[in-house]
Amino acid sequence: LVSSARNRVCDTSCTHERTGEILGGSWPSLFVGPEMSGGGLHIDALGTNFWMLVLEGQKLWQFFDPQQLPYLYPDPDSDSLPTSRLRVDTVRPDYDAFPLYAYASSFVCVVGPYDGLFVPAGSPHQVTNLSPSVAVSMNYIDSSNLDRAIKVLEHSSKDLELATREHLAQFRDSLPPAGVGSTGIKAYDFATDRKD
């Protein structure tokens, strides 16, 4: 499964990088990678939430509280980019170049086949494939992080801001009222066995 899909997925992900699309042209995303590949330390674009379901292999995830940012060396060249890159490699840290990283604390977990993972908006994280792996994932904006996404846009380029504000305005207009799920069904309180 890993080897048969690798070339198609790489072509797709490379296309998204070259075109500079904020969140890619199609979701969910398929991640296929060999052992010891992965994503460097970063915060997801536009303050989005993120979920991942691992289908094959194992992934090592390392998370940091956003208050740890001073120890993670934000990339000064990424201020205008939709994704905040951080310069520390948490798998092979260079303490001479990044001495404050020694003071950072993190949470580490390993996710395997059929494990799901949720990354809250604004959470610095790095992932490393411990074995060849296949996973599906999605970044998304909902009512929990819409205001954060708008704040991120306020610090972005004007062209990016205007284009994305239009999409977010359409999204906001389509949201169900608070307490109602994305299907339009009212939330169910299992603890009290009643509908709101």
Burial class (CB in 10 A: 0-12, 13-18, 19+), 168: middle
Q: What is the pLDDT of residues 47-98, one digit of tens each?
A: 889 999 999 999 999 999 999 999 999 887 655 444 578 999 998 999 999 9
Domains of the chain (ranges, CATH numbers): 2-178 (2.60.120.650)
Residue 195: HSE in the Cβ half-sphere, 13 Å Cα cutoff:
4
- Whole-number average pLDDT of the chain: 77
Q: Is the pLDDT of residue 28 over 60?
A: yes
**The pTM of the whole model exceeds 0.75:** no
List the single range of 12-21, 26-35, 48-57 with lowest mean pLDDT.
Answer: 12-21
pLDDT class of 177 with cuts at 50, 70, 90: low
- Describe the chain by its helix, strand, coil percentages, rounded to 5: 30, 30, 40
